[in-house]
Structure 1
Amino acid sequence: MQSERCDLAVLGGGLSGGLVALAMARHRPDLRVILIERGEKLGGDHVWSFFASDLPPGGEELVEPLIAARWPGYDVHFPGRSRRLSTPYRSATSMKLDAAVRAALPGECIVTGAEVCAATPTSVVLAGGRTIAAGAVIDARGTHGMAHMTGGWQKFMGQTLRLSAPHGLSLPVVMDARVEQVDGYRFVYCLPFSPTEVFVEDTYYADTPALDLPVLRRRLADYAAQHGWRVEAVAYEEAGVLPVIAAGDFDAFWQAGDSGAARAGTAAALIHPLTSYSFPDAVKFALYLSALDNLSGASLERASHAWAADHWRRGRFYRMLSRMLFGAARPEARWRVLKRFYGLPRPLIERFYAGRSGLADKARILAGKPPVPISAALASLAGRGRPLADLATDGRDPA
């Protein structure tokens, strides 16, 4: 039986765990950090995108090695409204995350293809008997459901298409809702990585988590054909289901954790409740952890709980909007809510995505003629959505 020691063991080599490892390597190089991942590569199969305005001080430097493309703005399209916004936009990839972490940590500190059998705040046992004694353990393995949470789902399939001729896009299309509205609010998302390479994602704000992969592939092909794009090859594909949180019992959610270790990412509910957006929160939390003086197991658990509880409190407004989106708007008409939102001032939209909406922003979002019936909106505030406890939320294809 192998046994070893480290200052910090990070369980899970996805976005949250990878960023924690990178932040520690950058700001706490004196610490021995071991990263443990179930898969053979870090980050899984993902494209993560974010607005430059989302990042905290120090965030841009931390994520720079992950960036695959950057643009000076983005477009949105709805029936009767198109808009170009000048907020800089960035995309990162799991391939670059894998390379960045491997460059930052010694090879023996990256353990892949390893199943965690047991974990405590200060120890890890892997399949095969390998044990790691740690000053602290942080669990960033995501979840296979969010017990004690309710809401809806954001589900998606994305493909990188290689084309025989230029696609003609100069900027990302963050939302194209001019498509047929099926299975809730549907939009298509496009990232032009090169003149002849574009990542296209079909996304749904849906009431159920079911993914019909053949249907989604057909819709992606139809979207490309409608734009006159001749596809030579599908170079990459990802699919997943993410929670849209409308309500929940945070204390019960936290107590449902079985290891007692500190938590990060989805395991700590560190996502934007309405957008399912996790990148900025993962960056902020990783930087916060790297600045802590006390990294003992018990202290780190208390710190992660306090951070997650504060994030939960600050998300109250966004959870209310989730209830209104799923409870008040008819599924085929949910696009009207987003169309109205994208008519608001650009700085307000930036603060919304970053989870920093102020009182004036909240009033502006709720003011004016509502895109849903007032009676339905009021009734939705009492609703809690569907249980999220059986949902695979780690970004992997649940099919």
Structure 2
Amino acid sequence: MPAIIQCDVAIVGGGLAGGLIALALKTKRPDVDIRLIEPGAIGGEHVWSFFSSDVVEADRWLAASLVSYRWPGYDVAFPAHRRTLGESYYSIESERFADVVAAALAPGQLIVEKAIGVGPGAVVLASGDRVEAGGVIDARGAADMAMLDLGWQKFVGRELVLAAPHGIERPMVMDATVEQIDGYRFVYCLPFAETRMFVEDTYYSDTPDIDRAALTKRIDAYAAKRGWRVESVAREEVGALPVAIGGDFDAFWRGNGVNVAKAGLRAGLFHPTTGYSLPDAIRLAAAIASATDLSSEALHDLTHGTAKRAWDQRGFYRMLDAMLFRAAEPEERYRILERFYRLNPALIGRFYAGRSTMTDKARILMGKPPVPVGRALAAIRGTR
């Protein structure tokens, strides 16, 4: 006979957003009985990175125990411009993330099963068991995004084990000196150790389709050009992050579960230009841990309100995305980022954190745009 499991809060999905909510609640609200429902490995197979300005001081307690690597600065490279920026950069490995989240959970609070039904007060599991909770949060990752107008940041990343030290001290966040293929292309490098380098081949592309074999060959070619002899590959990840150009946010939210609290990509909580969801996930998890009412209705209002405000406040980034994808020829898109990376480092930090000021926005748009003016205006008019 199917069992009924009762708890205060059920979190469906143990990826970045769901795992952070579970960790925040266990850290700040140990009295709350939670269940984290995840059929696979907590966190999956990922490397998440962020700038120091992405996380406000008040929320850094949540990220502190998760960080695998920290660097005091990072580099960017374009055909006509190279630069080192002094802002700290951090990376979180999914293995560490899984260990920290699992250690915070009490026995029985992790349910390794697939959820086949998620409602405001209950979750039905594939086994037929039912989790009844005062509050339910759906954090199962991206669902139906058809109501949004999207481009994509897609990638293949590999952690390379090298035969000799690479001699690189800082991350290369964007190396756009590579051949421009399938939109704006750049290579991203993280020096994890003297003989370990995480290399990601990334594209701002019109489609989410990924030719994994082709991108893997390009990573091998990049490593060879840098003089790195690869002994083995320690990890590999593949992904496509949404880049928001426009769309109907309210229809998107309703289409992914009426009256159910949502988190992460399922809630539409991601930076419109980068597709990164970690800063939003930390903010939301901290807010949930501080909430006095953890009922399903209150959690729905909190998560919907957070996501809706973020969407409404980020129209500027969607406008820039329209220029990137609709006004610039694919092989010329790098010029927009090359120009952007000549700006003030503090402005760049606020941009990635999604907290650009009016002055920042004016400065980004100032001067002759790196795309045809007529096409830029047409692209902006086409956004909603």
Answer yes or no: same fold by TM over 0.5.
yes
RMSD over aligned Cα atoms: 1.1
Runs of 5+ unmatched residues, structure 2: none
Q: After TM superposition, list the pairs within 5 Å mapping 1:239-318 onto structure 2.
A: 239-258=238-257, 260-318=259-317
2:231 corresponds in structure 1 to 232
Partner of 1:393: none
TM-superposed deviation, 1:137: 0.1
CA offsets, 1:1-40, max 9 Å, x none?
A: 111111100000000000000110111111011100121x
More displaced stretch, 49-58 vs 271-280: 49-58
Give CA-to-partner distance per residue, 1:241-263, whole Å, 9 cap, x none.
Answer: 11100001111111112353100
Segment of structure 1 superposing worse, 295-304 or 222-231: 295-304
On the 8 A contact 1:161/1:198 being kept in 2, the answer is yes
CA deviation vs aligned residue, 1:340-367 (integer Å, no higher than 9, x gap): 0000000000000000001000000000
Q: Are 2:76 and 2:175, in contact at CA under 8 Å, matched by a contact in 1?
A: yes
Distance 1:36 1:330 in 2: 44
In the alignment, structure 1 residue 50 sits paired with structure 2 residue 50: yes
The aligned amino acid for 2:10 is A
Instruction: In structure 1, list runs of 5 or more residues that go unmatched.
Output: 386-399
Supply the distance in 2 between the matched residues of 1:89 and 1:303 (Cα, whole angstroms).
30
Say if 1:73 and 1:86, in contact at 8 Å, map to a contact too. Answer: yes
Asked if the contact 1:118/1:259 (under 8 Å) is kept, the reply is no
User: Is the Cα contact below 8 Å between 1:151 and 1:384 reproduced in 2?
Assistant: no
CA contact (8 A) 2:157 2:200 kept: yes
Do 1:149 and 1:248's aligned partners in 2 also have CA atoms closer than 8 Å? Answer: yes
Is 1:30 the equivalent of 2:31? yes
1:66 maps to 2:66: yes
Other-structure match for 1:164: 163
SS in 1 for 2:76: strand
SS in 2 for 1:228: coil
In structure 1, give the amino acid aligned to 2:194: P
Maintained 8 Å contact 1:151/1:323: no
Report the secondary structure of 2:177's partner residue: coil
How big is each residue's C-alpha offset from its partner over 1:190-239, in whole Å with a ceiling of 9 and x where there is no partner? 00000110000000000111110110110000000000000000110000
Q: Per-residue deviation at 1:117?
A: 1.5
Displaced runs of 4 or more, over 6 A: none
Match of 1:397 in 2: none
Q: Deviations over 1:97-150 (max 9, x none)?
A: 1101111011310112x1111111111110111111101000000124413101
Report the 3-state secondary structure (helix = DSSP H, G, I; strand = E; otherwise coil) of the residue aligned with 1:58: helix
Matched with 1:80 is: 80
Distance 2:209 2:168 in 1: 31
Query: 1:43, 1:95 within 8 Å by CA — same for their partners in 2?
Result: yes
1:360 aligns with 2:359: yes
Deviations 1:78-113 (A, max 9, x none): 00210000000000011111101111011310112x
The answer on whether the counterparts of 2:189 and 2:198 sit within 8 Å (CA) in structure 1 is yes
Q: SS at 1:167's partner residue? A: coil
Amino acid at match of 2:117: A
2:98 is the counterpart of 1:98 = yes
Supply the AA of the counterpart residue of 1:126.
Answer: L
- CA shift, 1:384, in A, is 4.7
Question: Is residue 14–residue 36 contact of structure 2 (8 Å, CA) maintained in 1?
Answer: yes
Residue in 2 that maps onto 1:396: none
Partners of 2:175 and 2:22 in 1: how far apart? 35
Match of 2:111 in 1: 111
| Residue identity matched to 1:24 | L
- Count of residue pairs brought into register by the alignment: 383
Question: Secondary structure at 2:270's aligned position in 1?
Answer: coil
Q: Secondary structure at the match of 2:216?
A: helix
Alignment of structure 1 residues 162-241 onto 2, 5 Å: 162-241=161-240
Counterpart position of 2:6: 5
8 Å CA contact 1:184–1:206 kept in 2: the answer is yes
Q: Which amino acid aligns with 2:300?
A: E
Deviation of 1:383 (Å): 3.0
Q: Percent identity?
A: 52
Partner of 1:394: none
